[in-house]
């Protein structure tokens, strides 16, 4: 591919914007919203199809019996999609939002389940919606514990931007006053059910340094004026979110940031645009545009802008930068010290514990609550106290199963109407230490259908992850027993990396250009008019869900970009 493609002046003018955003998912949507709010003519490039809020959620209101296979996947679909079929949300009702394995190949040097959603809105349509702030325990962690590289920011730098995105997105939760899980701008929290209340009371009375609390999630429990202006409504507790929510009750790019940006008159969205690379101008010493291959016609077009936001999701962002070569950057844009693609990390989800618990036979609960409850991390907070580094957050919940019965017909139907026994479970979300060995790179020969090198993933667990898993399985079983459970069963799910769908790193932030790709403002050290603020930018993974941090980092970076542009620093 040549360094540039000649366009006549009129053609170039028609393809020139103030800003280009690559990707329309959670972080890309926020970049577009902030840039458009400040008056920048902004182009979003999305490799997948267009998806319009409400109109393109074809299964959102369908009942299970309206599906040919009652929500189950056929053997043919599973056989053809051995990776994505492992995902909890990939079922008959939502498979149209997921990338099919054979259509977008990659090379697994070690097992890595890369779950993707290529459409306008990206994975914001199917995400888990859990939202917790980071604290300085996370931002200080690498420097304190001697791994990865030091974050160039701290909690105080991001706190106002957490508030900014929480108010707009709508986050439900409770103000718990926990130092390592900062409180936010919350809508009313979801409630514990009666058995969870009993578990919480026993647990919190027993432990002095651990707390069972209400989960925090991006659902409108009580919409405010800002949410009504977005055209969004209250959560109906259906828990069918991965199909797309016609009420706009959970936050997605499609229901929130993209329509808002479009309403400014400053946004253009171009779907079916597979980004090949970012164009670097040797004379101007900056990026000038983006080279795009049309997904259908395979034609190549270039688009130009003063600033570029790369939000293609973690591994695709790494791929695009690695493929953005020039005489100045033969190993990828900004990659002067061979850091790009390295220190890819994820979160450890392998532990699961189930149990029975006594509960009232005459009580149930309303709806299908769309979140789990939390136990914030309690390991290695102020000092190293275990045989592994860092810690894990614990998700938990209790509920009633459907009654067990045998037979067919009316008698069977009447039997299963009755609620069954109460059960409980716990799962882990552990911080994985970034390692230089965990990396992605471009395959030297294999190409995808658009002629772009396939990505090679070489990512694996470490001994630290195994020790953390062992601790969770032991501690979780104890915590359930303390909470009143019986018949406790702990298991290692043996998930491959990637199935957590929280891949991070490869283009990490840092203070030193020799050990990091991005500065404290999410700008490439060596090419400051390119910003990266999706999962690729993360220096470490923390134990909290990362999406809220992506949103806050992106909103902050976009406002910094606008300020620098107005000052003439990014012309």
Provide the pLDDT for residue 6. 39
Per residue in 413-448, pLDDT tens? 777 777 889 999 999 999 999 999 999 999 999 999
Provide the pLDDT for residue 365. 87
Helix boundaries (H) for 236-276:
258-263
From the number of C-beta atoms within 10 Å of its C-beta (0-12, 13-18, 19+), residue 133 rates as: buried
The helix (H) or strand (E) run that includes residue 277 is strand 273-281
Provide the pLDDT for residue 13. 79
Instruction: Output Rg (C-alpha) for the chain, integer angstroms.
Output: 24
Which CA distances in Å does 410 have to 414, 416, 417? 6, 10, 11
Is 367:238 a contact under the CB 8 Å cutoff? yes
Give the C-alpha separation, 435 to 444, whole Å: 23
Provide the pLDDT for residue 377. 98
Is 41:19 a contact under the CB 8 Å cutoff? yes
Return the structure tokens found at 190: 């979801």
Counting as low any pLDDT under 50, the low residues of the chain are: 1-9
Is 129:370 a contact under the CB 8 Å cutoff? yes
* Among candidate residues 351, 348, 397, 390, the one with its CA nearest the CA of residue 374: 397
Which CA distances in Å does 145 have to 137, 148, 345, 506, 545? 11, 9, 17, 20, 21
> In order of start, what are the domains of the chain with their CATH numbers?
1-173+225-346+436-460+502-571 (3.50.50.60), 191-215+348-431+462-496 (no CATH)
Give the C-alpha separation, 197 to 270, whole Å: 49
Provide the pLDDT for residue 11. 60
How far out from the chain centre does Cα 7 lie? 37
Intra-chain end-to-end CA distance of the chain, in Å: 26
From the number of C-beta atoms within 10 Å of its C-beta (0-12, 13-18, 19+), residue 560 rates as: middle
Provide the pLDDT for residue 3. 38
Provide the pLDDT for residue 401. 84
Which CA distances in Å does 106 have to 87, 175, 292, 443, 502? 17, 43, 20, 9, 18
Strand partners, 491: 352
Is 534:25 a contact under the CB 8 Å cutoff? yes
Is 396:372 a contact under the CB 8 Å cutoff? yes
Provide the pLDDT for residue 366. 82
Provide the pLDDT for residue 10. 54
């Amino acid at each position: 591919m040549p360094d540039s493609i000649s366009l006549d002046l009129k053609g170039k003018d028609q393809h020139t914007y103030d800003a280009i955003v690559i990707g329309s998912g959670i972080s890309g949507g926020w970049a577009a919203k902030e840039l458009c709010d400040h008056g920048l003519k902004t182009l979003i490039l999305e490799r997948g199809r267009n998806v319009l809020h409400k109109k393109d959620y074809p299964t959102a209101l369908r009942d299970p019996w309206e599906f040919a296979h009652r929500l189950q996947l056929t053997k043919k679909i599973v056989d053809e999609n051995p990776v994505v079929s492992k995902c909890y949300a990939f079922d008959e009702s939502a498979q149209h939002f997921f990338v099919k394995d054979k259509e977008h190949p990659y090379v697994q040097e070690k097992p890595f389940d890369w779950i993707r959603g290529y459409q306008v809105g990206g994975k914001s349509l199917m995400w888990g919606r859990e939202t917790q702030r980071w604290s300085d325990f996370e931002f200080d962690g690498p420097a304190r514990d001697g791994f990865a590289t030091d974050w160039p920011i701290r909690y105080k730098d991001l706190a106002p931007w957490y508030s900014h995105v929480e108010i707009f997105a709508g986050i439900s939760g409770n103000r718990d006053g926990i130092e390592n899980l900062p409180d936010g701008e919350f809508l009313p929290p979801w409630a514990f059910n009666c058995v969870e209340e009993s578990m919480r009371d026993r647990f919190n009375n027993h432990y002095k340094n651990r707390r069972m609390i209400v989960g925090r999630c991006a659902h409108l429990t009580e919409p405010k004026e800002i949410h009504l202006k977005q055209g969004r409504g209250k959560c109906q507790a259906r828990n069918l979110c991965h199909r797309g929510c016609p009420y706009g009750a959970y936050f997605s790019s499609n229901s929130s940031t993209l329509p808002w940006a479009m309403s400014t008159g400053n946004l253009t969205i171009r779907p079916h645009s597979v980004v090949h690379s970012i164009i670097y101008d040797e004379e101007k010493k900056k990026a000038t545009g983006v080279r795009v291959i049309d997904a259908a016609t395979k034609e190549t077009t270039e688009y130009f802008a003063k600033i570029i936001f790369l939000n293609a999701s973690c591994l695709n962002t790494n791929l695009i930068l690695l493929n953005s070569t020039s005489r100045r950057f033969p190993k990828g844009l900004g990659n002067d010290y061979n850091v790009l693609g390295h220190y890819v990390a994820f979160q450890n989800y392998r532990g699961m514990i189930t149990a029975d618990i006594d509960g009232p036979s005459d009580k149930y609960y309303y709806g299908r609550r769309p979140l789990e409850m939390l136990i914030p991390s309690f390991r290695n907070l102020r000092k190293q106290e275990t045989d592994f580094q860092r810690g894990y957050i614990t998700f938990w919940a209790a509920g009633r199963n459907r009654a067990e019965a045998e037979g067919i017909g009316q008698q069977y139907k009447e039997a299963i109407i009755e609620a069954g026994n109460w059960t409980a479970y716990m799962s882990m979300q552990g911080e994985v230490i970034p390692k230089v060995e965990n990396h992605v790179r471009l395959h030297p020969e294999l190409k995808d259908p658009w002629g772009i090198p396939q990505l090679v993933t070489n990512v694996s667990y470490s001994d630290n992850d195994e020790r953390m898993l062992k601790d969770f399985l032991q501690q979780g079983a104890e915590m359930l027993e303390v909470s009143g459970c019986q018949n406790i069963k702990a298991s290692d799910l043996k998930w491959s990396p990637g199935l957590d769908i929280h891949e991070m790193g490869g283009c990490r932030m840092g203070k030193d250009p020799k050990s990091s790709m991005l500065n404290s403002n999410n700008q490439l050290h060596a090419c400051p008019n390119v910003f990266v603020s999706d999962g690729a930018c993360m220096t470490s993974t923390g134990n909290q869900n990362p999406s809220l941090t992506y949103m806050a980092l992106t909103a902050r970076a976009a406002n910094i970009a606008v300020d620098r542009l107005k000052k003439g620093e990014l012309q």
